[in-house]
Amino acid sequence: MSPHLVVLIYCPAGESGDGILQVVFQPVGVAPDATPPMAQNVSPFRVEPGKFTYRLVRAELAVERYGQIIAHCRVGQGPWMAVPFTVLAPVAS
Protein backbone atom coordinates (compact mmCIF):
# COMPACT_ATOMS: atom_id res chain seq x y z
CA MET A 1 0.00 0.00 0.00
CA SER A 2 1.29 3.48 -0.86
CA PRO A 3 -0.55 6.17 1.11
CA HIS A 4 0.21 9.86 0.60
CA LEU A 5 0.39 12.34 3.48
CA VAL A 6 0.39 16.12 2.99
CA VAL A 7 2.25 17.96 5.76
CA LEU A 8 1.80 21.73 6.16
CA ILE A 9 4.76 23.49 7.81
CA TYR A 10 4.59 27.02 9.21
CA CYS A 11 7.65 29.14 10.00
CA PRO A 12 7.09 31.89 12.59
CA ALA A 13 8.42 35.35 11.75
CA GLY A 14 11.96 35.76 13.01
CA GLU A 15 12.91 32.08 12.59
CA SER A 16 15.45 30.79 10.06
CA GLY A 17 13.01 28.88 7.84
CA ASP A 18 15.39 25.94 7.36
CA GLY A 19 14.46 22.59 8.85
CA ILE A 20 14.06 18.87 8.47
CA LEU A 21 10.72 17.05 8.37
CA GLN A 22 10.77 13.51 9.72
CA VAL A 23 7.83 11.11 9.29
CA VAL A 24 7.88 7.60 10.79
CA PHE A 25 5.06 5.10 10.19
CA GLN A 26 4.43 2.63 13.05
CA PRO A 27 1.59 0.35 14.18
CA VAL A 28 -0.67 1.73 16.93
CA GLY A 29 1.07 1.62 20.32
CA VAL A 30 4.63 1.53 18.93
CA ALA A 31 6.88 4.51 19.71
CA PRO A 32 8.16 6.55 16.75
CA ASP A 33 11.79 5.83 17.68
CA ALA A 34 11.29 2.04 17.86
CA THR A 35 13.12 0.09 15.18
CA PRO A 36 12.51 -1.00 12.59
CA PRO A 37 9.75 1.37 11.45
CA MET A 38 7.19 0.24 8.88
CA ALA A 39 8.40 3.16 6.73
CA GLN A 40 10.16 6.48 7.25
CA ASN A 41 10.87 9.66 5.34
CA VAL A 42 13.28 12.49 6.12
CA SER A 43 13.32 15.61 3.96
CA PRO A 44 14.92 19.04 4.33
CA PHE A 45 12.82 22.11 3.66
CA ARG A 46 13.09 25.87 3.42
CA VAL A 47 10.18 28.20 4.08
CA GLU A 48 10.03 31.99 4.15
CA PRO A 49 9.52 33.24 7.74
CA GLY A 50 5.86 34.06 8.36
CA LYS A 51 4.74 31.70 5.57
CA PHE A 52 3.70 28.08 5.02
CA THR A 53 5.21 25.35 2.88
CA TYR A 54 4.14 21.76 2.37
CA ARG A 55 5.68 18.36 1.83
CA LEU A 56 4.05 15.36 0.19
CA VAL A 57 5.18 12.17 1.93
CA ARG A 58 4.61 8.82 0.22
CA ALA A 59 5.13 5.59 2.12
CA GLU A 60 5.45 2.00 0.92
CA LEU A 61 3.69 0.01 3.65
CA ALA A 62 3.42 -3.76 3.92
CA VAL A 63 -0.01 -4.01 5.56
CA GLU A 64 -0.80 -7.44 7.00
CA ARG A 65 -4.12 -6.64 8.69
CA TYR A 66 -6.83 -3.99 8.76
CA GLY A 67 -6.67 -1.27 11.38
CA GLN A 68 -4.75 1.89 12.17
CA ILE A 69 -1.20 2.90 11.37
CA ILE A 70 0.25 6.05 12.93
CA ALA A 71 2.33 8.52 10.94
CA HIS A 72 4.51 10.22 13.57
CA CYS A 73 5.64 13.63 12.23
CA ARG A 74 8.07 16.20 13.61
CA VAL A 75 10.20 19.13 12.51
CA GLY A 76 13.82 19.05 13.69
CA GLN A 77 13.98 17.67 17.23
CA GLY A 78 10.53 19.04 18.11
CA PRO A 79 7.67 17.03 19.58
CA TRP A 80 6.06 14.19 17.63
CA MET A 81 2.57 14.74 16.15
CA ALA A 82 0.57 11.54 15.65
CA VAL A 83 -1.54 11.31 12.47
CA PRO A 84 -3.75 8.19 12.20
CA PHE A 85 -4.15 6.30 8.93
CA THR A 86 -6.93 3.69 8.89
CA VAL A 87 -6.89 0.65 6.61
CA LEU A 88 -10.41 -0.69 6.05
CA ALA A 89 -11.60 -3.97 4.55
CA PRO A 90 -12.84 -3.70 0.95
CA VAL A 91 -16.57 -3.08 0.55
CA ALA A 92 -18.45 -5.65 -1.51
CA SER A 93 -20.09 -4.12 -4.57
Domain count, the chain: 1
Which pLDDT belongs to residue 64? 86
Distances from the Cα of 69 to the Cα of 4, 45, 46, 91, angstroms: 13, 25, 28, 20
In a domain, 93, yes or no: no
Q: What is the pTM of this model?
A: 0.89
Whether 38 and 61 have beta carbons less than 8 Å apart is answered as: yes
Note the maximum CA span of the chain. Answer: 54
Burial string for 47-57 (b: 16+ CB within 10 Å, else e) reads beeeeebebeb
Which pLDDT belongs to residue 54? 96
- Judge whether residue 71 has pLDDT over 90: yes
What is the distance of C-alpha 38 from the center of its chain? Answer: 12
In a domain, 80, yes or no: yes
pLDDT in tens, 8-44: 999 999 999 999 999 999 999 999 999 899 999 999 9
Range of the domain at 75: 4-87
| CATH number for 74 | 2.60.40
